[in-house]
Amino acid sequence: MNVIKSAFSFICIASLFCAACNSERKKEATAKQAAGPRPPARVDGFVVTSKALSDAIEVPGSIVADESTEIHPEISGRITNLYVREGASVAKGALLAKLYDADLQAQRKKLEVQLKIAQSSQSRTEQLVKIGGISQQDYDVTVLNVSNLRADLDIIRTSIEKTEIRAPFSGKLGLKGVSTGAFVTPTSIITTIQKTSGLRIDFNVPEKYVGLIKNGQYLNFTTEGSERSYTAVVAATESGIAESTRSLTIRARVKGNETGLVPGGFAKVRLSFAPDSNALMIPTQAIIPQARGKKVYVYRGGTANFVDVETGIRDSSDIQITTGLKRGDTIIVTGLLGLKPDAKVVVKQIINKQS
């Protein structure tokens, strides 16, 4: 009996509480209706106009030699003489190292003697075949023997030339990697050589600038630790855009005096492009980042319309709009956090209006 009375009491209390809540809600709704609709947000606007915009970018680059390679022997052997002077400039064809070739020289002398005897035999058989003393076939055998000996002698001479390691082009030698008496193979590095004239600079530009790069275009660059500015001219581009970086590799040739430039050095490359006379620039704070793209609020007929835009160049305060807006549009630049798409707004002032 006591349990039934307790349950009845709980139900009564709950009913009274719900009734009180409903009464409060009705009072709030009545108060809102009496107060009327929410007033439009008061915001500042910015009128979109076009202006001239100069586009310039700065990218890292590397100074490279016009020609650069490691010096390797073509055959294996022991170095008998080493003529590498570290850091010295050499001419094309200069002898850098000599490998042991006594055995090849002996074979060469042997073949030279054999060739001399074979040539004498060929001269005698030539006279005999003219008077019918021997058959034409016997004479052809002596001619073939002379040809074979000449070919063998050419092979030996080529092998001897391979024991002489020479500079492939004029340039500056690096540090030597071996010493006299060392046994080397085609994988051994004798030294390195770089062509010190006609330096180049390689750098990458983002994909969006690829269409603006032309052969013959001039650019400026500086090196690390120096304020001196150098000039280069675009000579070539890579055949395609790198998928991993979405950038294109550019190669330019350095112009003028190259004093102070060292292959492998770091460079800061500055590229300037023709100015866009009709660029649309708006304040950066007007941009609202989204998960997919960017948007701005455009004031149209007393409402805030949410519009997709694409951006371009950015500076300290403004950003370029490439698509989504047109000249004369009024965008909202303040009170953005409290706005919702198609909300009613009142533009209290136009800031930074340009003619």
pLDDT tens for each residue of 176-197: 999 999 999 999 999 999 987 8
| Pairing status of strand 343-350 against strand 41-47 | parallel
pLDDT on residue 55: 75
CATH for 296? 2.40.420.20
Average pLDDT rounded to a whole number, residues 64-90: 94
Q: 163 and 83 in one domain?
A: yes
Q: Is the pLDDT of residue 12 over 80?
A: no
Q: How many structural domains are present in the chain?
A: 3
Q: 308 and 255 in one domain?
A: no
Give tens-digit pLDDT for 285-308: 999 998 888 999 999 989 999 999
The span from the CA of 136 to the CA of 115, in Å, is 21
Distance (Å) of CA 114 to CA 36, 84, 138, 285, 343: 121, 38, 18, 92, 105
The span from the CA of 110 to the CA of 289, in Å, is 85
> What is the domain range of residue 266?
57-66+195-275
How much is the mean pLDDT over the chain? 86
**Residue 34 located in a structural domain:** no
**Residue 296 located in a structural domain:** yes
Q: 315 and 254 in one domain?
A: no
Q: What values do phi and psi take at 271, rounded to 5?
A: -115, 130
pLDDT on residue 256: 79
**Residue 87 located in a structural domain:** yes
Query: Is residue 219 a contact partner of residue 234, using CB atoms and an 8 Å limit?
Result: yes
The span from the CA of 171 to the CA of 173, in Å, is 7
User: Which residues on adjacent β-strands are paired with residue 298?
Assistant: 305, 331
Residue that finishes a domain, picked among 245, 275, 305:
275
Query: Is residue 75 a contact partner of residue 162, using CB atoms and an 8 Å limit?
Result: yes
The DSSP code sequence of 114-173 is: HHHHHHHHHHHHHHHHHTTSS-HHHHHHHHHHHHHHHHHHHHHHHHHHHTEEE-SSSEEE
**Residue 161 located in a structural domain:** yes
CATH for 158? 2.40.50.100
Residue that finishes a domain, picked among 137, 169, 191:
191
Q: Is the pLDDT of residue 257 over 90?
A: no
CATH for 247? 2.40.30.170
> What is the pTM for the complete model shown?
0.60
User: Which residues on adjacent β-strands are paired with residue 306?
Assistant: 297
Query: Is residue 255 a contact partner of residue 262, using CB atoms and an 8 Å limit?
Result: no
**Residue 253 located in a structural domain:** yes
pLDDT on residue 23: 59
Q: 183 and 76 in one domain?
A: yes
Q: 125 and 267 in one domain?
A: no
